[in-house]
């Protein structure tokens, strides 16, 4: 069994949460943070099952990403 490590982003929305994996551009949602993450994990697993072995091997070659906030002021 191979284990993959993906960064995810959880975004609060009106009464729910969205969870997104930028590496795969896969998203899901839930009523709580935990539910959104669990739903995203399932969506990622289903997505990876559809990939070829070559596409899966490309995940090993990715480096770490910097994720931060950026404030932009508009006049």
Instruction: Tell me, yes or no, whether 51 lies in a domain.
Output: yes
Domain interval for residue 26? 9-61
The token pair that represents 37 in the structure block: 């993450």
Rounded to 5 degrees, φ, ψ at 45 are -60, -45
Instruction: Tell me, yes or no, whether 67 lies in a domain.
Output: no
**pLDDT tens digits, one per residue of 24-66:** 899 999 999 999 999 999 999 999 989 888 887 776 656 667 7
> Largest Cα–Cα distance of the chain, in whole Å?
53
How many domains in the chain? Answer: 1
pTM: 0.78
Instruction: Tell me, yes or no, whether 68 lies in a domain.
Output: no
Q: Mapping DSSP to helix (H, G, I), strand (E, B) and coil, where does residue 44 land? A: helix
Instruction: Tell me, yes or no, whether 66 lies in a domain.
Output: no
Q: What is the pLDDT of residue 62?
A: 64
User: Can you say how many angstroms the Cα of residue 35 is from the centroid of all Cα atoms in its chain?
Assistant: 14
For 4, 35, 50, 56, the CA distances from 60, given in Å and listed in that order, are 8, 27, 17, 8
Q: What is the pLDDT of residue 13?
A: 94
Instruction: Tell me, yes or no, whether 74 lies in a domain.
Output: no
Q: What is the pLDDT of residue 34?
A: 97
Instruction: Tell me, yes or no, whether 32 lies in a domain.
Output: yes
Q: What is the pLDDT of residue 63?
A: 62
**2-23: average pLDDT:** 90
Instruction: Tell me, yes or no, whether 72 lies in a domain.
Output: no
């Amino acid at each position: 069994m191979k284990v993959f490590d993906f960064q995810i982003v959880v975004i609060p929305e009106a009464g729910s949460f969205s969870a997104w994996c930028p590496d795969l551009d896969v998203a899901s949602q839930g009523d709580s943070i935990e539910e959104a993450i669990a739903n995203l994990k399932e969506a990622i697993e289903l997505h990876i099952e559809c990939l070829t072995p070559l596409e899966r091997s490309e995940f090993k070659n990715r480096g770490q990403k910097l994720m931060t906030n950026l404030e932009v002021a508009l006049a």
